[in-house]
Structure 1
Amino acid sequence: MKKVLFILFAAFSTAANAQNAVPKSATDIAPLLIGEKIPNSILKSSENATVSLSDVVSKKKTVLVFYRGGWCPYCNLHLSALAEAEKQILDLGYQIVAISPDSPENLRSTAEIDKVQYMLLSDANGVLIKEFGIAFEAPENYKSVINVHSNGMNTSLLPVPSVFVVNTNGDILFEYVSPDFKHRITAELLVSVLKTLK
């Protein structure tokens, strides 16, 4: 009997660890789906203030943007394009919130460089990207960059660049998840999507 219990326990532990394991590749992620509710998480603002994601989302329909960091040129182009389209997005009744593994200090420099007025939040420990199912094990050549930009809180995780549109209850209405970090949803396409969701 003890042997059977041990085997069951070992199998359960293996299954639990497999579920908690971070995928090795961007193509192996399992993101939350349209219709699912986003998790609440405590993040940090660029001023290092504690921010509850559910509180932010409850105020207004939200375009949640996950990006790799201010060190990524593709991310900076995307953030700048969203900044240019921000007025249209606001006029449609949405706010933009962008989240990365960067530390609060590094968020400030990203906001200045990319001329961003919308909210940037830090998920430096990678908890939220894991909960969203978009975290993966960063290639070796990125690990030192991630470590520096997260102020040592993250040494190995990257988010797959993603956009989630959520309502004030935190339900996912639309998502764009691209394992190829060079491909992002254009601001024009995003605005068109928001018009159809309205």
Structure 2
Amino acid sequence: MSTRKISLDITILAGAVSVFIGCTGPPNNQDERSDSRQSREVPILAKQLEEKAATSAARIPEDVRQTYAQGIETVRATGIEKSAKQVGDAAIDAELLGWDGKRVKLSELWQEGPIVLMWYRGGWCPYCNIQLRAMQQSMDKLEHAGARLVVLTPELPEKAKETAEANDLDIVALHDKDNTVAQKYGLVFKLPEAIIPAYRDRLKLPEYNGNDVMELPLAATYVIDKSGKIIYAFLDADYKKRAEPIDVIKAVEASAQE
């Protein structure tokens, strides 16, 4: 068989495979391939969080693990995941100060385009740091989708700056002083009594937040559209669970198509 005929046969076979895939695949298979590439490129946050949880579980005594697990269930039992702001609700406006000294008004941002509003508990929380790094790595895709990331935290501005520097972040967190905005979103819960000593004495929560109030916000993530309506909400009493970046990006993209 000549080299020319072999080349021709390969070309025909490749064309046949292409037609076969096109006929049997979904109507928007180009979009599916694009989503597949995006899924591979965006950090898989859940896996990173699970690995951290497994590592922590291996070194923490069983009784301590049970105490923290019970704490999560105590928070969940309050119904906070359902009573907090949900998809379809109007977002709460606020003006906050970033650790860079600049003030930001939320409504001015979402009027320009959708925003991703994300709370993190503090730099003392390893799961928060993992999420922050994942969102930093996803920033280009998030902005390409047309959204802006807005991060809120109850920790003091100087602590938030330290968190950014320790995690090599370009993100400037806004100071939600005394969880004021989180309260309006219905995200704040009192720490269960059994875990207060660990948060107060070992994690030094009062030093981070500048007060002695043993309260924290859920590590919630919202997507807010240009009209100020919540179109995506991630709410989980388990601090080891966070919104997956790819899901947030998809929510932003869906908003742009409406």
Give TM-score, length-normalised by structure 1.
Answer: 0.80
1:62 aligns with 2:115: yes
- How big is the shift at 1:191? 2.2
Residues of 1 paired with 2:208 and 2:76: CA distance? 20
Secondary structure at the residue paired with 1:65?
strand
Letter in 1 for 2:246: E
- Hey, what does 1:8 align to over in structure 2? none
Conserved 8 A contact 1:135-1:159: yes
Does the C-alpha gap of structure 1 residues 54 and 196 become closer, same or farther in structure 2, counting only changes over 3 Å? closer
Does the C-alpha gap of structure 1 residues 92 and 71 become closer, same or farther in structure 2, counting only changes over 3 Å? same
Residues of 2 paired with 1:26 and 1:159: CA distance? 13
In structure 2, the gaps of 5 or more residues are: 1-73
Range 45-54 or range 68-77, more displaced: 45-54
Conserved 8 A contact 1:160-1:179: yes
Q: Where do 4+ consecutive residues of structure 1 move more than 6 Å?
A: none
- How big is the shift at 1:43? 1.9
Residues of 1 paired with 2:114 and 2:251: CA distance? 13
- Within the candidate set 163, 170, 173, 2:228 is matched to 170
More strand by share: 1
- Hey, what does 1:183 align to over in structure 2? 241
Letter in 1 for 2:207: V
Range 166-175 or range 91-100, more displaced: 166-175
CA RMSD between the two structures: 1.8
Residues of 1 paired with 2:217 and 2:207: CA distance? 16
- Hey, what does 2:34 align to over in structure 1? none
Matches within 5 A, 1:76-115: 76-115=129-168
- Hey, what does 1:147 align to over in structure 2? 206
Range 93-102 or range 113-122, more displaced: 113-122
- Hey, what does 1:130 align to over in structure 2? 183
Residues of 2 paired with 1:119 and 1:151: CA distance? 19
Letter in 1 for 2:88: G
Does the C-alpha gap of structure 1 residues 66 and 194 become closer, same or farther in structure 2, counting only changes over 3 Å? same
- Hey, what does 2:44 align to over in structure 1? none
Range 170-179 or range 111-120, more displaced: 111-120
- How big is the shift at 1:27? 4.2
Matches within 5 A, 1:31-70: 31-70=84-123
Conserved 8 A contact 2:133-2:169: yes
- How big is the shift at 1:26? 4.5
Letter in 1 for 2:238: D
Conserved 8 A contact 1:26-1:136: no
1:159 aligns with 2:217: yes
Conserved 8 A contact 1:62-1:96: yes
- How big is the shift at 1:170? 1.8
Between Structure 1 and Structure 2, whose CA radius of gyration is higher? 2
Conserved 8 A contact 2:225-2:255: no
The number of residue pairs the alignment matches comes to 174
1:124-158 per-position Cα deviation (integer Å, ceiling 9, x unaligned) = 21111110011000241324532111223x62220
Secondary structure at the residue paired with 1:184?
coil
Secondary structure at the residue paired with 2:132?
helix
Conserved 8 A contact 2:100-2:172: no
